[in-house]
Structure 1
Amino acid sequence: MAASPSASAAVASNERQRGKAAAKGGVNDSWQNQRFESHAMSTTAGNKPSSIVNGERGPDHLLVLVHGIMASPSDWTYFEAELKKRLGRNFLIYASSSNTFTKTFGGIDGAGKRLAEEVRQIVHRTESLKKISFLAHSLGGLFARYAVAVLYTPNNLGDGDLNDASIAGLSTKHGLIAGLEPINFITLASPHLGVRGRNQLPFLLGLHFLEKLAPSFASVFVGRTGSQLFLTDGKPNRPPLLLKMATDCEDGKFISALGAFKCRILYANVSFDHMVGWRTSSVRREDELPKPPQRSLDGYKHVVDVEYCPPVSSEGPQFAPEVAKAKEAAQTEPSTQNTVEYHELVEEEMIRGLQRVGWKKVDVSFHSAVWPFFAHNNIHVKNEWFHNAGTGVVKHVADSLKQQESSYLTANL
């Protein structure tokens, strides 16, 4: 049963109060003051929250940009400038800075919590906000998925879980994110299924002996985040974090939070991405990968295909005894057979969980670009000069955001 408007307002008010309490408690991380000062012109008037700045009503749609591993907000310089030109003043575009560089090594859960707190602070300081969207690149997509679960509040406080029938319906009755109406959740080349398994981490060239050794070295080079990406985190009898993030569990309402968004889009490189494979970034099984067209869509160079995948009813992912046994074998005796068996079991469970919500899947191919091997950074134009092959992707993302905004306005007339 949908919550009443007054109930929705109460939930939003409660979320704002949480943000105020956090602000009063004081968060000492330097990223807060730095980012708030840099966004003072667009988010605040003086030191007080305000919905009207210079006689004009402030933006009502917060778009949070989340960078990937060993990166910073500067990675979004070109993308952010283009979005501002194309989307107009109704959007407050904010590039997150709470997980810069080596902070990305401390675990997806820790980074997700920092991102959630950063978003709460922005919402607290900008009273005009009513809607929220996320746009994330690479590992940032997993940070954003964790953060939205932290920020999620069901409208019906007595029943936060979504059943298979209700999860397909996309409206505010499914809850709020940071007290705002969730609109878009978009990722660019994000490893939603982790990077374990054949060609999920393409620079290993699909060689079994390298893929066997990689999990052992991952935690050395990229810390806790590495073990989570390779699904080796936690005790043998406990599910890995990424499997938890494909369902609702005691750690968070991950699938309900995703289901609250009106639109979810996965942009994935079909080839030449040496960091994130096509399967994991598009949440597909091997036999579900289509043959990518060679021609780009009209007006969107290197964007080659768009597919809408409706929700698939299921009981959600399980961590069955045989999966726990396979995990223990992969941790203690990491043979090729053990690691492949464990990965295949967990990957199938993650896919089943994430398919409970509908996705729009956008395939990108830089095969005809001058520097196709930069695909992972081309897809979000990390550098305007070296990665400008991705400008068509930027335009496609902007137009998708505009289309969803127009649909929202039409629905609320």
Structure 2
Amino acid sequence: MASTLSSPCHHHRSSYYSHRRRCLRLRPSTAASGRPSESQRKRGPDHLLILVHGIIASPSDWTYGEAVLKKRLGDNFFIYASSSNIYTKTFDGIDVAGRRLANEVLDVIQKMAGLRKISFLAHSLGGLFARYAISILHSTAMKDASQSAACIAPATEGSEKLECTSGLGAIAGLEPINFITLATPHLGVRGKNQLPFLQGLSILEKIAAPLAPLVVGRTGAQLFLTDGEPSKPPLLLQMASDHEDKKFISALAAFKNRILYANVSYDRILPYS
């Protein structure tokens, strides 16, 4: 079994950057030493950790964090920094980027034998990409480890199913463990003081919404909730509940741990509130 990330203080009003060492800790589920056994090392990693970067970014943003995580988490984790939505591809829309990420995750799983668990660690806009992706990857049955992990249909009759800790389904056929976002605008950026760098000036906040799509494309419209239609609410509002074709809340609920970090101060892009 692999170690899992946990946060004893994620409910406190604390800055991720100033408290990350104190908040992020390892909870070993192996022997007292926390080190995998020889048989576990031979089997290879069984826990997939997906790192998702934010707007106008790339996997290189995770270079330092990935190195630290590899050292801390050990051989049971396969850490993968997403590369399907680099730089201006983040402008294409949360839904488009989410579908790209979902396909990328399936490709990784298909190439990695022995994976049983999955976690996400996403920064800023990447948190919304990840939330959309898991709504696509969510299914109600765990997969037999010997089957193609990229196929998320229920296991065939008579095959052994892995037990999902949450009891609420699987993500890409794997057991969902941790879903962690860092400074993610889950509710968008529309409204007063939702973009701190505008200093709360009403005239700037009014023109920001119509200008956003011109600067950052469909993603800008979605973040300001101006992408809706008379018969279809804005995407972020849709993502606040389950739908027949996308189970946004059920997908989140499937994870054993759901952790949100926000900066109390010194974040000029996103407010704590």
Smaller-chain TM-score range?
0.7 to 0.9
* CA distance, structure 2, for counterparts of residue 199 and residue 265 of structure 1: 24
Aligned to 2:33: none
| Equivalence for 1:179 | 173
SS in 2 for 1:278: coil
User: What secondary structure is seen at the aligned counterpart in 1 of 2:107?
Assistant: helix
Tell me the percent identity: 68
After TM superposition, the score normalised by the length of structure 1 is 0.50
Higher relative contact order, chain-length normalized (CA < 8 Å, sep 6+): 2
Once the two structures are superposed, what CA deviation does each residue of 1:278-331 show, in whole Å capped at 9, x if it has no partner?
Answer: 12xxxxxxxxxxxxxxxxxxxxxxxxxxxxxxxxxxxxxxxxxxxxxxxxxxxx
Runs of 4+ in structure 1 off by over 3 angstroms are: none
Contact 2:48–2:78 (CA<8 Å) still a contact in 1?
Answer: yes
| Separation of aligned partners in 2, 1:230 and 1:264 | 25
8 Å Cα contact 2:82-2:104 kept in structure 1: yes
Unaligned runs of 5+ in 2: 1-40, 143-163
Does the alignment pair 1:89 with 2:75? yes
Please tell me whether residue 57 in structure 1 is matched to residue 43 in structure 2: yes
1:135 aligns to what SS in structure 2? strand
Residue aligning to 1:129: 115
> 8 Å contact 2:50–2:121 — kept in the other structure?
yes
Matching of residues 327-366 of structure 1 within 5 Å? none
Q: CA deviation at 1:251?
A: 4.2
Q: Which residue is 2:60 aligned to?
A: 74
**1:112 alignment partner, one of 82, 94, 98:** 98
The residue correspondences of 1:255-266 to structure 2 (distance < 5 A) are 255-266=249-260
- Which residue in the other structure is 1:330 paired with? none
Q: 1:394 is matched with which residue?
A: none
Paired with 1:204 and 1:89, the residues of 2 have a C-alpha distance of 45
1:19 aligned partner: none
Partner of 1:52: none
* Separation (CA, whole Å) in 1 of partners of 2:86 and 2:226: 24
Map 1:272-311 to 2 at 5 A: 272-279=266-273
How many residues in Structure 1 have an aligned counterpart in Structure 2? Answer: 214
Aligned to 2:221: 227
CA-to-partner distance for each residue in 1:211-268, whole Å, 9 max, x for gaps? 1110100000000000000000031342110011111013410000000000000110
Return the letter of the residue paired with 1:225.
T
Match of 1:103 in 2: 89
Q: C-alpha separation between the residues in 2 aligned to 1:138 and 1:256? A: 22
Deviation per residue, 1:152-207 (Å, 9 max, x gap):
00139xxxxxxxxxxxxx93421000100000000000000001112211111111
CA, structure 1 residues 233+251, in 2 after alignment: closer, same or farther (shift >3 Å)?
A: farther
Counterpart in the other structure of 1:250: 244
Alpha-carbon distance between aligned partners in 1 of 2:197 and 2:130, rounded to the nearest angstrom: 25
> What is the alpha-carbon root mean square deviation over aligned residues?
1.8
Partner AA of 1:206 in structure 2: G
Which structure: larger Rg?
A: 1
Q: Which residue pairs with 2:153 in the alignment? A: none
Structure 2: which amino acid aligns with 1:254?
A: F
Which residue of 239, 251, 261 maps to 1:267?
A: 261
The amino acid across from 2:109 in the alignment is V
Q: Provide Cα deviations, 1:14-52, integer angstroms capped at 9, x if missing partner.
A: xxxxxxxxxxxxxxxxxxxxxxxxxxxxxxxxxxxxxxx
Q: Match of 2:167, SS? A: helix
Other-structure match for 2:187: 193
Q: What is residue 10 of structure 2 aligned with on the other side?
A: none
Shift of 1:58: 1.1
Asked whether the equivalents of residues 155 and 173 of structure 1 are also in contact (C-alpha less than 8 Å), the reply is no
TM-score, length-scaled by structure 2: 0.76
Cα distance in 1 between the residues matched to 2:218 and 2:45: 37
CA deviations on 1:42-91 (whole Å, 9 max, x unpaired) are xxxxxxxxxxxxx8211000000000000000000000000001110000
